[in-house]
Amino acid sequence: MHIVSKPDYDIANYYFRDLADGIQQQMYFWGQDVLSPVGNFLVHEGFKRSPSKGLKGTSCYRLAWQDGHIELYGACAGWYGNGKGFTFIRPRKRCVIWLSEQITPIPGAWRNELVAKAVAKHDLYRASLPFLDWLISYEAAVMARFGIGYRLLNYRDYKKVPKNKTWLRPSTSLEWFKCFRDRPEQLVRPKKLT
C-alpha cells in the first residue's frame, strides 16, 4: 500500500460516519474471531491479550504495528503512534484523533481532553491510515484462513443481534475500506452498494 500524505480533495463528513459504521460491524466480527474454531484468531495473528483497564470482565488486545500499536477493546479500537493516534469510540459512534500515544482510551473511563476537537478532515483521514492498513491486512488473513463463508456467517449472526445495524456484506465492506484507504475520491456511500 502506498502512503497518502495529504488528499487533494475534501472528504465529506458522512464518509467518516460510514467508516464508523463499518468499524462497528468489524468489531463484532473480531469478537467472533476470539471464539473461532481454531482458537483465538487475534492471538494467533500476534495480539497480546490482557485484562481491560476499564470495564471489568473484558479484554484488551494489543499488537505492534507501523511504529505504534493497534489496541482493540469491545468499546473502542484504534492505532496509536507518533505521539497520537486514531480511535473509533463505539458508544459515541465516532472516529477521532486521539492526542496521546502513551495514554490510550480506556472504555468506561474516557479522557475527553485527549480527543482532538475541530479536526480537519484530511488530518483525520491521515490518522486513520495505519489502522486501515491493519484492518485490511487482518481481514485478508481471515479470508485466507477461513474463507468468505466464515465472514458471511458472522454477518448473518450480526444481523440477528437486536439493535445492530448491518453495514455491507464482508467482501463488499473490504473493498469499501480499501477504497477509503487508497482512493477516497472514488468512494460511494455504502447504502448505494447494498
Domains of the chain, residue spans: 13-189
CA angle at residue 55 from 103 to 40, to 5 degrees? 90
Name the amino acid, one letter, at 96: V
CB atoms within 10 A of CB 82: 12
Q: Whose CA is closest to 76, among 57, 66, 61, 56?
A: 61
pLDDT of residue 8: 52
pLDDT tens string, the chain, 194 residues long: the values are 444 444 555 788 899 999 999 999 999 999 999 998 889 999 999 999 998 887 777 899 999 999 999 999 999 999 999 899 999 999 999 999 999 989 999 888 889 999 998 889 999 999 999 999 999 999 999 999 999 999 999 999 999 999 888 899 999 999 999 999 999 999 999 888 87
Q: Whose CA is closest to 66, among 19, 1, 2, 133?
A: 133
Query: Which cell is 66 given?
Result: 507501523
Q: State pTM to two decimals.
A: 0.92
pLDDT of residue 90: 93
The CA-based diameter of the chain, rounded to the nearest angstrom, is 45
pLDDT of residue 42: 98
- What is the distance between the alpha carbons of residues 129 and 134, in angstroms, rounded to a whole number? 9
Ordered alpha helix ranges (H), the chain:
13-34, 41-44, 121-146, 148-160, 170-182
pLDDT of residue 9: 58
pLDDT of residue 4: 47
Kindly state the DSSP code that residue 103 receives in the 8-state scheme.
S
Q: Are 175 and 188 in contact (CB under 8 A)?
A: no
